[in-house]
A and B are shown apart, each in its own frame.
Chain A
Amino acid sequence: MSFLKKSPWVLHYAATSCNGCDIELLACLTPLYDVERLGIVNTGNPKHADIFLVTGSVNEESRKVVENLYAQMPDPKVVVAIGACALSGGIFRDAYNVYGGIDQVLPVDVYVPGCAARPEAIIDGVVQALGILEERAKERKRQRRMVRA
């Protein structure tokens, strides 16, 4: 069994969101939802993170940051897009300055809908991401073995 499932550390970044989704995301850490009981820790450090939680519709400024953070995360890693903006651009979709969705710039694994996404939905999204994370960890192990052989 992979221990990634028991101790997922998340990194949160607001890529041009309205902050609505971010507040819901941070609510997951409060005593009511307390995601630490699942071993989830919100690290502010990409090098310690396993799951990248991104909100917002991404513009040119935040694209650089998102790509940089993603590149700094050690494998295996997954990306969860949170909120309507992060999925498709949401109400900002027609704005001239946004990319409209995290998957325009990063490979997204789990989409959590909602405007704003509810804490329950976000936790559910993270739990789904854990399955993908475990798959990826297995794949990574196989790759390492092949490199060694």
Chain B
Amino acid sequence: MSAYTWWLAIGFLVLGPLVGALLAGIDRILTARMQSRKGPPLLQPVYDVLKLLEKDTLVVTHLQSLYLWGFLFFMLISGFILFLGSDLLLSLFALTVSGIFLCLAAYSTNSPYSNIGSARELMLTMAYEPMLIMVALGFFLVSGSFRVSDIVQGSPWQVLQLGGILIGFLFVLTIKLRKSPFDLSASHHGHQELVKGITTDLSGTDLALVEIGHWYENVILLGWLYLFFAPWGLAVALPISIVLFFAEVLVDNTHARLTWSSALRVSWWVTVLFGVTNLLVLPLIGHSS
């Protein structure tokens, strides 16, 4: 752990929300342009959160705020570990715990919409978690270490060696970013059968916490995506990962929502087809450890 990675990790804590908000803002503008609309200003997500802080917070149970702080805390831990160049698995576990906290917050509010939302969110966790673990495993097999600092300095061929896993990861990224066809736990558009899913009963400051948590999450996921291309250096790897990241917006706008059962089935098939196959053939295509 060098001084550089410490700065990176602290930079994540401080600037993470800003980068995440910009990503969200570009996302909204791209979506609007795809629908031939002008779209909101770039900083709209920031305005939204600042507004939420001005609003009253309706508290159903005090537990909800506690869980939401847990959600944000573990999100921070996960990103901090990742940007510190530390253990990838640990970062993944913290990310999962943070997701569970969000579900707990929704469950605690007791509204049927939040309950269905969090039940579906748990289902989605089941759908994407195997693939995420396979990503960490794949990195371990090619670079011989779970440490992010070693993975970054891996062989430039690691993207090709992990091609199947990259496809699988891009697939579950759609779920993680709550994009259609997998936006079934918290729909973007609140006038559907689920209202707002997990966040239905959260308002004011509580909702702002969820938004800020999602900004951090976006940065973490972008970081994961970056790891695949990291050995090529920042100048090449970052643009590629950003382009792939925003390709999700296209998917979002061109697909209708799936039911939870088909979402689960499809993502497990993709996990087996691309992830497991990739892991199995990895010894044949050689690794540099």
Contacts and interface: CB of A to CB of B under 8 A. Distances in A.
B192 A44 contact: yes
B55 A76 contact: yes
B38 A34 contact: yes
A75 interface: yes
Interface in B182-235: 189-192, 195-196, 199-204, 207
Contact of B35 (A6, A7, A31, A39): A31
B47 A34 contact: no
Q: In which size bucket is the chain A interface? A: 20 to 34
Nearest to A38: B40
Interface of chain B: mostly helix, strand, loop or mixed? loop
Contact of B196 (A7, A38, A43): A43
A72 B113 CA distance: 15
A108 interface: no
Interface in B48-83: 48, 50-51, 54-58
A50 B36 contact: no
A7 to B, nearest CB: 4
Nearest to B113: A45
Interface residues of B, number: 32
A7 B55 contact: no
Contacts of B195: 44-45
A3 B196 contact: no
A135 to B, nearest CB: 13
Interface in A21-55: 31, 34, 36-39, 42-45, 47-48, 50
Contacts of B192: 44
23 contacts: A2-B54, A3-B51, A4-B51, A7-B44, A31-B36, A31-B37, A34-B32, A36-B37, A36-B39, A37-B37, A37-B38, A39-B40, A42-B191, A44-B196, A47-B58, A48-B190, A48-B203, A48-B207, A50-B55, A74-B57, A76-B54, A76-B55, A140-B56
